[in-house]
Amino acid sequence: MKDLFSIVGKVAVVTGGSRGIGAMIARGFLENGAKVYISARKVEELNASAKALSAYGECIPIAADLGSQAGTEAFAKAIQEREPKIDILVNNAGASWGAPLDEFPEQGWDKVMQVNVKSIFFLTQMLLPQLRSAGSSDDPARVINIASINGITHPKLTNYSYSASKAAVIQLTRHMAVDLAKENININGIAPGFFPSKMTEYLIDELAERAPTSIPRARMGQPEDVAGTAIYLCSRASAWVCGHTLVLDGGSVAQAG
């Protein structure tokens, strides 16, 4: 029982791991004994993040643009060339787009759906051999898809494609989880509320001011919150959790009704 939450020695891949929630998860994995690959589009930022994260364990950067099928395939190939087994895949890379309803462009749908939905499906598909090799009945391989509370409740923003994509992530998580459970691959999701990140940067001051009254727990998310949830979903403690998306929001969705 004392090792229920251990991820020591596991190999993890965290897309979009150079900043925000991805970096928070990557650090949590590293500090708890996992070897972690992180990806991002911007090479300079990726390498700087990997260097900083390497203070906590073995962190390996691989530049990748999951905004295209070719970029997703190239990243999968780079992982396959390095690792015969992958214990953990965190599909965290994401994109957003905001525009008034009357002006929302097709590009705002294509980009967001490619990164937020298609890349999750196809990267997981491409890495199935590595995940199958790592999983066992007692300790399955894990896939975590990062959704959002915007896929559950009204976002109160004009991010139409983003909220739709995150709702799709939640359903895709259910669907793939059932199909892969028998192959010793557990798929679950996390639907974060408001965390400080590049994506929420333009809202941070407003959110920090509103948090004490608008979020039941009276604060924004902290790195330990998402890292702890991800570690739980990747450890023996959650081996029988399959196809669910854990809402990590300090009570915001419950309050919305």
Taking CA atoms, 97 is separated from 26, 142, 161, 212, in Å, by 25, 29, 7, 27
Q: Which residue, chain included where needed, has tokens 């923003």?
A: 157
Catalytic one among 160, 162, 202, 232? 162
Structure tokens at 155: 């976002």
Half-sphere exposure of 129 (CA within 13 A, CB side): 8
Chain-centroid distance, C-alpha 118: 14
Catalytic residue list contains 162: yes
Do strands 141-146 and 35-40 pair parallel, antiparallel, or not at all (unpaired)? Answer: unpaired
A 10 A CB-CB count for 63 gives 18
Q: What is the largest CA-CA distance in the chain?
A: 56
Q: At 242, give phi and psi (nearest 5°).
A: -150, 125
Are residues 211 and 219 in contact, defined by beta-carbon separation less than 8 angstroms? yes
Angle value at C-alpha 51, between 53 and 34, nearest 5 degrees? 40
Which residues in 15-43 are b (16+ Cβ under 10 Å) and which e?
bbbbbbbbbbbbbbbbebebbbbbbbbee
What are the catalytic residues?
Answer: 162
